[in-house]
A and B are shown apart, each in its own frame.
Chain A
Amino acid sequence: MTETRQIRVQALARVEGEGGLEIDLENGAVRDVRLRIFEPPRFFEAFLRGRSLNDVPDIVARICGICPVAYQMSAVHAIEAALGAQVSPFIRRLRRLLYCGEWIESHALHMHLLHAPDFFGRASGLELAQTHPEELRRGLRLKKHGNELLDVLGGRAIHPINVRVGGFHRAPKADEFARLIPDFEWGLDAAVQATRWAATFPFPEFTPDYEFVAVTHPDEYAMNEGSITSSTGEAWPAHEFESVFEERQAPHSTALHAVRRDTGVPYLVGPLARVNLSFSRLSPIAQEVAASVGFELPCRNPFRAIIARGLEVIHAYDEALQILRNYQAEPPRVAVPHRAAEGCAATEAPRGLLYHRYRLNDEGRVEFAKIVPPTSQNQLRIETDLRAWLPDVLSEPDDVVARTCENVVRNHDPCISCSTHFLRVRIARK
């Protein structure tokens, strides 16, 4: 007789957006694992069509309240690539600075309020603050300074208003930035301490055989530009993304699963992928911290992604501080002439590679848009993690299995709100 067991997480907590988890077992073996997304579809790619390219950065920001800058960055780079526009080194620096602010606020949020509670068996960051008030206060302050940088450079932290195709609407004045420097000096040191703290957490032994994919750059820790690189050693320009990777309909479900076209293998994007692929371009301070806490490469333990996030927060504080200290305002934008063209770009959102492609007409209106967010690329990889994780915990009661599976999902900081391109949004009921 067939013995079946179903484990359900109705609603995942401490992730952005709404999703659930369904695990089906048959005779003690894993039959199916589904990361279920019930985020309603919002159709961004459809309503971008016909809009002026000037509206695109404001509109795509609304895909995600946690990483709006990432959507703005991939959009402006893709449109500028289409139109052959070249921004100045000054604008390029400001864009990195803006990304530093977003990486800081997003990573500090995940590390302290979303992920850390798992290692202490707590329900939330607020609960963790009862036993670890100093660590949580430090984390909140780290997050706050990231948001303050977004406030000054972006106009506001959530859905910044200062980004445009060709650069920025206005370059902040030197004294607006100078005020941030003392907080960023504190933050660099605090980020080191936060990362050292995270490195002391009890990490389960779990090392899936990941193929990491991230944008890399020969001279810097890649954010806005570079080659799409795999841990297999291969690298491709952004415009080959769609020929190398595809979102495939899996036979067991209705989800689009991102895999490599040639091998059919799912891959992992995000901080763990970036740190593994670009470690030598991290700030020297971050590299020292990694060495001193025993963070060895390659690191394939997704629970240790919290350390990778910490290293990136250190890097972001360090790089932001250098840009802030040497800041002198220059013209905030370059002219971008309109013509019929097509272009794409991949940048590194806090959660990993974010690909955009746009086709524009000669009036500067969008004819076609394609957006591939990091979480939809990681979805199959997360399910694959769960399949590998489950056999070791199946002897536990359902609630324990469910809780540890939630932890496995949260390692990857999934952002379900980035739902523009998810197929498994709702399954029509018969």
Chain B
Amino acid sequence: MTAALPKLAVFKFASCDGCQLSLLDCEDELLAVGERVDIAHFLEATSHVERGPYDVALVEGSITTPHDRQRIQEVRAASKFLVTIGACATAGGIQALRNFADHDEFVSAVYASPEYISSLATSTAIADHVRVDFELRGCPINKYQLLEVIRALLGGRRPTTPNHSVCLDCKRRGTVCVTVARGLPCLGPVTQSGCGAICPAYDRGCYGCFGPCVQPNLTSLHRQFLVDGLSKRDAIDGLRLFNAYAPEFRQESQRLEAEQGRVAGVNP
């Protein structure tokens, strides 16, 4: 009977587990999902493991070790439709901050015996290594967008998720703009929708969990931040969080850094 169900697999690379946890956080839908798909590989949830091929693979995490660089190729080969879930998988995650720094020094700062650590100098997105069929942004992802991916899979169609900016969601929620009204730095105008515009609703600026939206005007936004009194260093750090290595955020933080006169010690 289960042979007829589409096979779903979940794979983890360097990450916090939060995005795959989003599937277990679909408390109202989880048992129904379990009846409609064959969960063929999901170590966090089940000891039952099936070999590929898989109809859909959800891939969490970034590539940070030589072994994982190899493993993602195997996952790709075994999967018909590969979906990256979360900022680690789509942009390298918070651990991509190492891409801007001296990796060897990073290793010795945390681990007493660095010779045992086998780690790449960079943390990179899954799409830098294999073809990706669909990506779900977010740190963490939105569980309803994840359900949309599963529904689309069951319906044999491509998932759809919005790519407008968080700014529009604030207008819809009726949240007063924290930048206009209070001069707080907020990445809402340049960040992709998906979180529900929660930060401004909690009296703080957006910090860009969902990464850059389409055609973000980062330079103009940062000009305004500097006018409002944000230091250049804080502006750079504001972009260097969970989507630091997403191309548009990375370029703007490097531009600000160059403006500041510091040498951008970035790995090619």
**Using a CB–CB distance below 8 Å, which chain A residues touch chain B?**
11-18, 38-47, 49, 51-52, 55, 58-59, 62-66, 68, 105, 109, 113, 117, 123-127, 129, 133, 136-137, 140-141, 143-144, 147, 155-159, 161-162, 164, 169-170, 249, 254, 256, 406, 417, 420-421, 423-429
Contacts and interface: CB of A to CB of B under 8 A. Distances in A.
10 contacts: A13-B45, A13-B46, A18-B43, A41-B110, A42-B95, A46-B101, A59-B241, A66-B18, A113-B45, A169-B203
B128 to A, nearest CB: 16
Contacts of B43: 11-15, 18
A51 B101 CA distance: 13
Q: Which of A46, A117, A123, A140 is the most central at the interface, judged by chain B CB atoms within 10 Å of its CB?
A: A46
B7 interface: no
Given A41-B119, A157-B25, A125 B45 contact: yes
Given A65-B140, A426-B119, A49 B27 contact: no
A169 B204 contact: yes
B12 A18 contact: yes
A428 B198 contact: no
Interface residues of B, number: 66
Contact of A158 (B25, B107, B116, B203): B25
Nearest to B13: A40
Given A13-B49, A43-B107, A129 B31 contact: yes
B199 interface: yes
Contact of A136 (B17, B31, B93): B31
A427 B113 CA distance: 11
B237 interface: yes
Contacts of A249: 112-113
B21 A14 contact: no
Interface string B193-234: 001101101111001010000000000000000000000001
A62 B94 contact: yes
Interface stretch (B63-71, B74-82, B160-168, B256-264): B63-71
A62 B242 contact: yes
Nearest to A12: B43
Given A158-B140, A417-B15, 9 more contacts: A17-B12, A45-B109, A58-B241, A65-B17, A123-B47, A141-B27, A426-B117, A427-B116, A428-B117
A65 B19 contact: yes
Contacts of B93: 62
A18 to B, nearest CB: 6
B117 A124 contact: no
Contacts of B106: 43, 46-47
Q: Which of A40, A62, A68, A157 is the most central at the interface, judged by chain B CB atoms within 10 Å of its CB?
A: A40
A197 to B, nearest CB: 17
B117 A425 contact: yes
A65 B141 CA distance: 11
Q: Which of A47, A159, A420 is the most central at the interface, judged by chain B CB atoms within 10 Å of its CB?
A: A47
A379 to B, nearest CB: 15
Interface string B15-39: 1111111101101101100100001
Contacts of B196: 156
Contacts, number: 202
Contacts of B201: 155
B101 to A, nearest CB: 7
Contacts of A429: 118
B97 A47 contact: yes
Q: Which of B110, B112, B116, B241 is the most central at the interface, judged by chain A CB atoms within 10 Å of its CB?
A: B110
Contact of B16 (A45, A47, A417): A417
Contacts of B24: 109, 113
A159 to B, nearest CB: 6
B9 interface: no
A162 B46 contact: no
B202 A161 contact: yes
A241 B34 CA distance: 44
A49 B242 CA distance: 16
A421 B27 contact: no
Given A159-B139, A428-B115, A63 B234 contact: no
A302 to B, nearest CB: 19
B115 A123 contact: no
A59 B238 CA distance: 11
B46 A127 contact: yes
A49 B16 CA distance: 20
A162 B118 contact: no
A40 B103 CA distance: 14
A426 B116 contact: yes
A40 B68 contact: yes
A129 B27 CA distance: 13
Nearest to A108: B27
A122 B39 CA distance: 14
Nearest to A123: B48
Contact of A124 (B45, B105, B209): B45
A41 B25 contact: no
Contacts of A423: 111-113, 116
A132 to B, nearest CB: 11
A59 B244 CA distance: 12
Given A136-B31, A143-B27, A40 B64 contact: yes
A41 B120 CA distance: 10
Contacts of B12: 17-18
A47 B25 contact: no
A126 B115 contact: no
B250 interface: no
Interface string B233-248: 0100100011000000
Contacts of A136: 31
Given A124-B45, A126-B31, A158-B25, A68 B202 contact: no
A21 B126 CA distance: 27
B111 A66 contact: no
B45 A16 contact: no
Given A14-B44, A43-B107, A126 B30 contact: yes
A68 B139 CA distance: 12
Contacts of A124: 39, 45-48
Nearest to A51: B237
A193 B164 CA distance: 45
B44 A58 contact: no
Contacts of A68: 16, 18
Q: Which of B44, B113, B116, B242 is the most central at the interface, judged by chain A CB atoms within 10 Å of its CB?
A: B44
